[in-house]
């Protein structure tokens, strides 16, 4: 039996258009696009950029609705340490880190894999960390209609590390809370749990 494989598909016409633009940029930077190491770079970059912004082609609401189940569970559900990779919309340089997401069901739970998928959909767009946090929070809040939602994102930004202030060890934390997580005790429980080393 053949192993499970993931296939990436690209629109040839769009890829060619982006590839041509990358050729122009590389040439304007003073490089030779015919040099051996760069011959295939415009096409690779075109495909990479389409993958890194593929979130524009996915509907996070439909992802959640496709895996919602009626369940009488009323306690906190936490998915922590969700890896995320995104592009800063200001310089189109990466920022990366972890998202911690929790919700308190209100008659429905959602398949656990769907929350990381929602994080990926919003991360794979040109973003700022503050809006990324808000997008994930509001999508879960509006779609699941839970008793509460919490999102915390910790990320390092290459635009701060490679250029500008060049602070290699700085990280940025953003958070958002709705419903029961606006209560101090619930929010504190969540923050303690994502900080604990439970495994």
Residues forming the active site: 88-91, 129, 157, 159
Q: How far is 111 from 155, CA to CA, in rounded Å?
A: 25
Residue 190 DSSP class: H
Q: Six-digit token pair at 112? A: 């656990």
In sequence order, the β-bridge partners of residue 64 are none
Is 189 strand, coil or helix?
A: helix
Residue 46 DSSP class: H
Q: Six-digit token pair at 43? A: 């096409």
Q: Residue 191 belongs to what H/E stretch?
A: helix 184-195
Going by DSSP bridges, is the β-strand pair 126-127/77-88 parallel, antiparallel, or unpaired? parallel
């Amino acid at each position: 039996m053949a192993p499970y494989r993931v296939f990436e598909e690209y629109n040839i016409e769009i890829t060619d258009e982006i590839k041509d633009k990358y050729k122009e940029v590389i040439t304007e930077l003073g490089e030779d696009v015919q040099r051996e190491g760069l011959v295939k770079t415009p096409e690779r970059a075109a495909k990479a950029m389409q993958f890194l912004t593929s979130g524009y082609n996915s509907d996070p609401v439909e992802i959640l609705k496709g895996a919602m189940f009626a369940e009488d569970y009323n306690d906190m559900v936490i998915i922590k340490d969700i890896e995320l990779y995104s592009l800063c919309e200001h310089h189109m340089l990466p920022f990366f880190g972890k998202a911690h997401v929790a919700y308190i069901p209100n008659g429905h739970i959602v398949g656990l894999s769907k929350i990381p998928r929602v994080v990926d959909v919003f991360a794979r767009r040109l973003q700022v960390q503050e809006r990324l946090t808000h997008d994930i929070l509001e999508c879960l809040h509006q779609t699941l209609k839970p008793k509460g939602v919490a999102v915390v994102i910790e990320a390092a930004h290459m635009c701060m590390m490679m250029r500008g202030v060049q602070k290699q060890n700085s990280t940025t934390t953003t958070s958002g809370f709705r419903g029961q997580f606006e209560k101090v005790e619930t929010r504190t429980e969540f923050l303690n749990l994502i900080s604990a080393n439970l495994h």
